[in-house]
Structure 1
Amino acid sequence: MMKTHVLYVFADQLSMLALNLFGARNRVHTPHIDELGAKGVKFHRSYCVTPQCSPSRSSILTGLYPHKTGVIGNIGTKNTAELDAGLPNLGNILQQRGYRTAYFGKWHLGRAAVTEYGFEATADFQKDDEETTEHVLNFLDEQADVKDHPWLCMVSFNNPHDIYRMAQDKLQGKTLNTSHIILPDNFIDDLSAKPEAQRLFRDEDQGKALQSYGEEDWKYYLAYYYELIERIDRLLGRIITKLKDTGQYEHTLIVFTSDHGDMMAAHRSPFKGPMMYEELVKIPLIYCWEGVLPAGESRYQMTVNADHLPTIIDLLGFEVPEQFDGVSMKESLFKRETAGREYVVMQYYSKQKWINPIRTITDGKHKYSLYSSGEEELYDLAADGSESHNGAYRPDDMEIKKRLQDELRRWMKQYQDPFEQYTRTDRQGQLLEK
């Protein structure tokens, strides 16, 4: 009997808010992602555990929060460990259950060989998406004649992370059509009512090079970002076509997601930094398994990407171990009305030398963030979806804030989160008092 394969595709720095399927403000040409969503189940309240590459990837693989994987920041930053190859992860768990396992593309979890994590087929640390795709296509060709041997193939696209090349390419004369681009409603924000780290990031850190940008320049930023998304869509299309041509598509569970988002000019900010806005923490999530999962349906249960590992294991019919922080979404995939998480917690630790820990909790209606400096944010996501008005210090919102604070403290205690033990630094890495 033919067993189920798993194709797990994730992009780097792809915000949910950039995709047509999830109500993007600007139309992006992504026919293959759109088709996947039309044939699968879309989660509209899908979050990353953290808006940083390495720690988010560690949670995708292990089903654990970053403070448990030890990968609390990007690899190479202070106090951040490389991912322990001894931890159970999607690769070695499925390998132990008879799966051929493969990982192609960006890794960003340490210097150890990817094979040490249970992936027997790999091309370590490849960051060119075209080359990554060729490796995937070759792998799928190799598996085509092995009818009774299931496989897991993780595909890690680097883009649209190359948004960091935007300013240089713009200076060198790269032209883009920006006539159709609309800036976000929250483009104008002086950040005066927001934590100081956000202003420092925008005005003194990675956003500084863009301080002279006018509206047309920011439209260029978005056009550049969308072009990168369209590139990975084309590559995803090639992979799905290969699955169909080799007769493996109907036996494959496909998951499409990303590790975190991008600010996308919201609050006049680029890239990612010490902030937890929806543009940055909401990630696309599509589960497609034709003939098994519902087609073209949407889900509004909250989920975080630590949930992907237990969900995949559960869908494949294996018992889900209890050690995961993530929970299986299997029931939600099949039943629209199933209750999901009551809230989602997210973490942030550092940006290079700059350590500025944050904890965020959302119940889907409100979102509360606590910075290690003691600064706070509170947003009414229904009334203020652009997160323009910080209600953390508004008397009328104190009851809501206290409820979310209490839930966050309870969660940190239950999951042994060391947030209150962390120290913070300035942008140069010098220690600061709390």
Structure 2
Amino acid sequence: MLIVILLGYFKTQGAEKADNPNVIIINVDDLGYGDTGAYGATHVKTPAIDMLASEGRMFTDAHSASAVCSPSRFALITGQYPARIDLYEPIFLKSTLVIDTAQITIAKVMKSAGYKTAAIGKWHLGFTNDSVMDWNKELKPGPLELGFDYYFGVPILNSHPPFVYVENHHVVGLTPDDPLVYGKHAETCWFPEKFELDAIGGGRAAHALYDDRAVGTTLKEKAVNWIKKQKDKPFFLYLATTNIHHPFTPAPRFMGTSDAGRYGDFIHELDWIVSEIEKTLDEEGLTENTLLIFTSDNGGMLNQGGQDAWKKGHKMNGDLLGFKFDAWEGGHRIPFIARWPGKIQPESKTDELLCNVDLLATMAALVGYPLKDDEAIDSYNMLPALLNTNKKPIRDGMVISPSQKKNIAIRKGKWMYISAQGGGGFEASNVGEHMFGGPAAFPFTGEENSDIQNGSIKPDAPPAQLYDIIADPYEKENIYNEHPEIVRELKEQLEEVLASEKARRKQ
């Protein structure tokens, strides 16, 4: 039964086509489960996000299909688990488009219903089908070939080059006489948590337009201006912020405003961005007819800024175990808030199981798009859960991808099975290292798990992990040895899901 559910056959059943509301999905970068006031944070102030929660519906058991940024975004846009295409790691400078332009996407669904569509912000899914990525050429295919009418944003992410903006098919400000050149130093503002600055340079005019402390403002302005232009048709906006991914570079007015260091300051800027979107909807008279969804691509990260915030008492993932990249809950349980005045009950909260891969089928139900059996195969229509009209749980399981394939996980009801020891994420052993995490971080974080002692996995620890996630949401006790029948069942079902995709791709 689980396989049927995991393959996403709960498509658009039980949902009626709505009156074409506008839709905005704010997909935040690296915002942890405990990073906002609505989800328990006390060292940062997030009045706009908290108001959104009070005016809408909070999900407490929402997850990203991956604990890693690029695979998570793949899931949201395609309705398909990234594990099905062996996508576990983020893509970088020379990576090409990871989404097949022939497959259905969330933007294509909305466009088919007459929506104007835009993607603004961090893309991180590649461009072109060329064997070698050439940033000086037309960046096609890209977002526009996946159903978006307009794209503007950061092509990869704010810690990796190129530090430029892309609009539609071209790098903004790039001139033929000063191309981008691999292996040349990028003459940009430098922050300690930026990497590979010598990977690509040149393009001085394009690089000059990119100011780290102005990125949040720039993306906000692009989103606000685009919203204001949408008058004659319903619109769909996918706004993917670079907040709060490192380096933590908020505009100067937000620096020093939180009790969680630069990490918290970046959250404060994020909250301002959300407030500006809300204000724009109010000013344009669009609030009542707009479904606004706020979520994150994965859990919070214990990087250098995260470690500083932790020392100050801020727990980015609350009391959940682990961090970004991990199969543990802290890697993928995410904030998820939906507001639609008059449709979604305000001040409501649910423990309905949800995954960001479900957004495509949910949008299909919203606009009446009939998904075929081979489209968005892992996506569920969660519209009844948003509207609180479902009589029973919609999904009872999901596949979760950490950064290490060996630790791929499967959830079924109350059970969470992780197919190897540890979290499957970063494992650097020293405080202050960017990739600090895993068992080595436990003495620093104070986390507890029955398999781990003094920063190491115990010699007699089971080879994999099983948790009763309802009774033990913080994954303190690995009960793998106590339930061999459950382990066997979940292991087989996980293997069957992945094998089914391999068989389908051979057809």
- Measured against the shorter chain, the TM-score band is 0.7 to 0.9
Listed one character per residue, the Cα deviations across residues 253-295 of structure 1 (whole Å, up to 9, x for unaligned) are 111111111245679998633x212111101112211112222
Matched, 1:304 2:346: no
Q: Percent identity?
A: 26
Question: Does the Cα contact within 8 Å between 2:144 and 2:151 map onto a contact in 1?
Answer: yes
Matched, 1:116 2:167: no
Match of 2:488 among 402, 409, 424: 402
Q: Give 2:468's aligned residue.
A: 380
Q: Give 1:345's aligned residue.
A: 399
Shift in alpha-carbon separation, 1:287–1:415, aligned structure 2, 3 A: farther
Structure 1 residue 332, shift from structure 2 partner? 2.0
Q: Give 1:19's aligned residue.
A: 36
Structure-1 separation of matches of 2:330 and 2:114? 39
After superposition, the CA RMSD in angstroms is 3.2
Shift in alpha-carbon separation, 1:6–1:69, aligned structure 2, 3 A: farther
Matched, 1:82 2:166: no
SS at match of 1:160: coil
Q: Give 1:225's aligned residue.
A: 263
Q: Structure 2 unaligned runs (5+)?
A: 1-17, 129-141, 159-214, 250-254, 303-309, 311-316, 425-461
Structure-2 separation of matches of 1:292 and 1:177? 34
Question: Does the Cα contact within 8 Å between 1:58 and 1:69 map onto a contact in 2?
Answer: no
SS at match of 2:380: coil
Structure-2 separation of matches of 1:331 and 1:380? 26
SS at match of 1:301: coil
Shift in alpha-carbon separation, 1:17–1:91, aligned structure 2, 3 A: same
Question: Does the Cα contact within 8 Å between 1:72 and 1:81 map onto a contact in 2?
Answer: no
SS at match of 1:6: strand
Structure 1 residue 329, shift from structure 2 partner? 0.8
Q: Give 1:95's aligned residue.
A: 111
Question: Does the Cα contact within 8 Å between 1:95 and 1:101 map onto a contact in 2?
Answer: yes
The amino acid that maps onto 2:324 is K
Q: How does 1:33-432 map to 2 (within 5 A)?
A: 33-68=49-84, 71-76=87-92, 82-112=98-128, 113-125=142-154, 128-143=215-230, 146-147=231-232, 149-162=233-246, 164=247, 178=259, 223-263=261-301, 272-273=324-325, 275-322=326-373, 323-324=375-376, 325-334=378-387, 335=389, 337-350=391-404, 356-371=405-420, 375-392=463-480, 394=481, 396-416=482-502
Structure-1 separation of matches of 2:57 and 2:332? 20
Shift in alpha-carbon separation, 1:359–1:270, aligned structure 2, 3 A: closer
Structure-1 separation of matches of 2:503 and 2:29? 26
The amino acid that maps onto 2:36 is L
Structure-2 separation of matches of 1:358 and 1:384? 19
SS at match of 1:133: helix
Structure-2 separation of matches of 1:21 and 1:298? 11
Question: Does the Cα contact within 8 Å between 2:153 and 2:219 map onto a contact in 1?
Answer: no
SS at match of 1:16: coil
Question: Does the Cα contact within 8 Å between 1:7 and 1:152 map onto a contact in 2?
Answer: yes
The amino acid that maps onto 1:283 is I
SS at match of 1:235: helix
Q: Give 2:205's aligned residue.
A: none
Shift in alpha-carbon separation, 1:369–1:70, aligned structure 2, 3 A: closer
Structure-2 separation of matches of 1:414 and 1:306? 18
Listed one character per residue, the Cα deviations across residues 117-160 of structure 1 (whole Å, up to 9, x for unaligned) are 222222142652211000011111211xx24x111111000111
Q: Give 1:426's aligned residue.
A: none
Structure-2 separation of matches of 1:246 and 1:269? 42
The amino acid that maps onto 1:290 is P
The amino acid that maps onto 1:141 is K
Structure-1 separation of matches of 2:239 and 2:100? 21
Structure-2 separation of matches of 1:343 and 1:268? 19
Shift in alpha-carbon separation, 1:39–1:416, aligned structure 2, 3 A: farther
TM-score by length of 1: 0.73
Structure 1 residue 368, shift from structure 2 partner? 1.3
The amino acid that maps onto 1:234 is W
The amino acid that maps onto 1:35 is M
The amino acid that maps onto 2:349 is S
Shift in alpha-carbon separation, 1:405–1:319, aligned structure 2, 3 A: same
Q: Give 2:313's aligned residue.
A: none
Question: Does the Cα contact within 8 Å between 1:18 and 1:25 map onto a contact in 2?
Answer: yes
SS at match of 1:161: coil
Q: Which has the higher helix share?
A: 1
SS at match of 2:352: strand
Shift in alpha-carbon separation, 1:306–1:417, aligned structure 2, 3 A: farther
Listed one character per residue, the Cα deviations across residues 68-94 of structure 1 (whole Å, up to 9, x for unaligned) are 456442114999962223322112222
Structure-2 separation of matches of 1:177 and 1:247? 32
Structure-2 separation of matches of 1:158 and 1:291? 31
Question: Does the Cα contact within 8 Å between 1:70 and 1:83 map onto a contact in 2?
Answer: no
User: How many residues end up aligned between the 2 structures?
Assistant: 355
Structure 1 residue 229, shift from structure 2 partner? 1.9
TM-score by length of 2: 0.63
SS at match of 1:401: helix
Question: Does the Cα contact within 8 Å between 1:70 and 1:82 map onto a contact in 2?
Answer: no
Shift in alpha-carbon separation, 1:18–1:403, aligned structure 2, 3 A: farther
